[in-house]
Amino acid sequence: MEEAMSDPISLASPAQPSLLQLLREDVSCVFKRDPAARSRFEVLTTYPGVHAILMQRIAHRLWKYGMRYLARLLAWFARLLTNIDIHPGATIGRRFFIDHGAGVVIGETAIIGDDVTLYHGVTLGGTTWNKGKRHPTLGDGVVVGAGAKILGAITLGENVRVGANSVVVKDVPAHRTVVGIPAKIVLRTEEAGADNIYGINLDHHLIPDPVGRAIACLMERIEVLESQLRKQGAPVDSQCQTCEADDLCISVSRGEK
């Protein structure tokens, strides 16, 4: 983490890393999470997510030293340049990566752990006008899919994955994948597949469909019951009476898309 905190998921070392060291790590981590990255020069000159975090780290130092207006001015310039809005008061850990970056919003009291990845359109927002902690806390290794919203002073444990366009409004334990509106836990992270060679699992799209699974189970059960009725000689009308959904019912019962 960038600075020592009382938060239980913070793994900050007592010695605070230098700003230059943080910036070097932010650039280096891009090559581990974006196969399109080809050179440091390309990353430094063409990646808006990198530009945003570089300026936020400087603005955050200014914020801590009491130069609040200068920090907000730098944050405003970063948003103008990158279309990424990160409040200078937000606490961001090491090796932070925003892929594509457009439309990302991070509030003032947000706390982000190490090795966190956000995709475009992500919001770490508040749900109250009261001062104090009102934005989310993300543990180490969290991956948040495109368009997801994480709202309120909630905590996502380490290695949590949030599916694209999900809305998270409650705490999520470590090593879980959540999806939906409002987001619900659908599996443990380790069940979704192995990490990549760098130890960071970016396969946030590999999430189950709990609704489809439930419907498939129901259709399978209906098929079994109808089969038993036929064996007993009872008439069974296999056609849907209220809609033309026979082909869909058959596909779902077979687990087809």
Pairing of strands 117-118, 105-106: unpaired
Going from N- to C-terminal start, the domains of the chain cover 19-192, 210-253
Which of these CATH numbers, 1.20.1560.10, 3.90.100.10, 3.40.50.720, 2.160.10.10, describes 19-192?
A: 2.160.10.10
| Token output for 3 | 């600075």
pLDDT beneath 50, residues of the chain? 1-14, 192-194, 197-199, 257
228: exposed, middle or buried (Cβ count in 10 Å: 0-12, 13-18, 19+): exposed
**What pTM was estimated for this model as a whole?**
0.69
Which DSSP letter does residue 88 get? T
Q: Tell which residue, 148, 126, 145, has the closest CA to residue 136.
A: 126
What pLDDT, in 10s, does the model give residues 159-185? 999 988 999 999 999 998 898 889 888
Which amino acid is present at 1? M
Angle at CA of residue 159, ends 171 and 186, nearest 5°: 60
